Amino acid sequence: MSTSTSSDYLIRAIRPDDWPRVKQLRLDALRDPSAGLAFLETYEEAEARADVFWQDRAVGSGEGSTAARQFIAETPDGTWAGSVTVLIEEAGTKDWAGLAVECRQGHVVGVFVRPEHRGNGLIKALLDAGVEWARQRGVERVRLLVHEDNERAQGAYRKAGFVPSGVVVPFVRDTGQNELEFVLQGPS
Ligand SMILES: CC(C)(COP(=O)(O)OP(=O)(O)OC[C@H]1O[C@@H](n2cnc3c(N)ncnc32)[C@H](O)[C@@H]1OP(=O)(O)O)[C@@H](O)C(=O)NCCC(=O)NCCS
In this predicted structure, the answer to whether residue 1 has a pLDDT above a threshold of 70 is: no
d(CA 35, CA 42): 8
- Specify the DSSP element, H or E, that contains 134: helix 122-136
d(CA 107, CA 86): 5
Q: Which of 140, 126, 136, 156 is nearest to 34 (CA)?
A: 156
Question: Strands 105-113, 141-147: parallel, antiparallel or unpaired by DSSP?
Answer: parallel
Mind listing the pLDDT tens digit for each residue in 7-24? 799 999 999 999 999 999
Q: Spell out which residues line ligand 1, taking CB within 6 angstroms.
A: 32, 34, 38, 111-113, 118-119, 123, 146, 150-153, 155-156, 159
Residues in the chain: 188
Mind listing the pLDDT tens digit for each residue in 45-65? 999 999 999 999 999 999 999
CA 51 – ligand 1 centroid, Å: 31
d(CA 179, CA 171): 5
Backbone angles phi, psi at 72, to 5 degrees: -125, 155
116: helix, strand or coil: helix
Give the pLDDT of residue 2.
44
Mind listing the pLDDT tens digit for each residue in 64-97? 999 999 999 999 999 999 999 999 999 999 987 7
- Nearest atom in ligand 1 to 37's CA: 44
* Average pLDDT of the residues of the chain: 94
In the chain, the domains with their CATH numbers are 6-140 (3.40.630.30)
For residues 166-183, average pLDDT = 89
In this predicted structure, the answer to whether residue 188 has a pLDDT above a threshold of 80 is: no
Ligand 1, atom 20, lies closest to the CA of 152
- Nearest atom in ligand 1 to 39's CA: 47
CA 124 – ligand 1 centroid, Å: 11
27: helix, strand or coil: helix
In this predicted structure, the answer to whether residue 100 has a pLDDT above a threshold of 50 is: yes
